[in-house]
Amino acid sequence: MRVLGVDPGLTRCGLGVVDGGKGRTVACVAVGVARSPQEDELATRLLTVATEVERWMDLHQPQVVAIERVFSQHNVRTVMGTAQVSGVVALAAARRGLPVAFHTPSEVKAAISGSGRADKKQVTTMITKILGLAEAPKPADAADALALGVCHLWRAPMMDRIARAEARAAEAARTHRAKLKAAQEKAQRTQGPRTGGRTR
């Protein structure tokens, strides 16, 4: 499976393409960032990022796009920019019929380093080792994008199993409700109509 990991950001949007093989085997295909000038208007900046992201999608042909889920921060302006870029990326993926998966920062950190509280430096160090890179990806946004790709590759099988288990449970519940309803209706037909009052 080939995954495009995206660490959304308006000034720097991290991009990383990772291939997954048997077991937990992973390999780096490409890594970089999509940048937009801070002096540009918002719409222009989003278009700049979107154009580069779409170029990566068309060039590397990922099978799924993994995006970091936006979470609450103190800087509301930063959160808004991040959320807007996430939407642009998800839209670009949808236009190409690509599934989109969102992973929280703690999920990515736990998958890569074993700790959901790891800092960016630890994540960069671990992703460099995991992918056997000659040097650490820079800036940190690029390393985070690769980490997102690897996180999805390693979590996807578990997520699929959970989804299938939930689907089976939902189907079993529907079947149980249908059988229960049928039994109640049969019981009502067997009892026949009830008459009120006393006989003399």
pLDDT band of 188, cuts 50, 70, 90: confident
pLDDT tier at 78 (50, 70, 90 boundaries)? confident
- Confidence band, pLDDT 50/70/90 cuts, at residue 134: very high
**High-pLDDT (> 90) share of the chain, %:** 65
Residue 169 has pLDDT above 90, yes or no: no
The answer on pLDDT for 200 being more than 50 is no
Decide if pLDDT at 39 tops 90: yes
7 is in an annotated binding site: yes
pLDDT for 193: 61
Predicted pLDDT of residue 23: 82
Q: What is the pLDDT of residues 63-76, one digit of tens each?
A: 999 999 987 665 67
pLDDT at 196 over 60: no
- Write down all domains in the chain, each with its CATH number in brackets: 2-160 (3.30.420.10)
Q: Is 11 helix (H, G, I), strand (E, B) or coil?
A: coil
- Whether the pLDDT of residue 163 is over 60: the answer is no
141 marked ligand binding residue: yes
What's the pLDDT at 95?
Answer: 97
| Cα dihedral value 64, 90, 36, 74, nearest 10 | -110
Over residues 6-29, the mean pLDDT reads 95
Long-range Cβ contact pairs of 151-154 (< 8 A, separation 24 or more): 151/5, 151/66, 151/103, 151/107, 151/108, 151/111, 151/112, 152/3, 152/5, 152/64, 152/66, 152/101, 152/103, 153/1, 153/3, 153/18, 153/20, 153/24, 153/26, 154/24, 154/26, 154/111
Which of 30-34, 114-118, 132-136 has the lowest average pLDDT?
114-118
User: What is the chain's alpha carbon radius of gyration, rounded to the nearest angstrom?
Assistant: 25
Return the pLDDT at 116. Answer: 84
How many Å separate Cα 7 from the centre of its chain?
11
Predicted model pTM: 0.78
Q: Which residue has the higher pLDDT, 21 or 34?
A: 34
Active site residues: 7, 68, 141
CB 151 within 8 A of CB 22: no
Q: What is the model's pLDDT at position 115?
A: 83
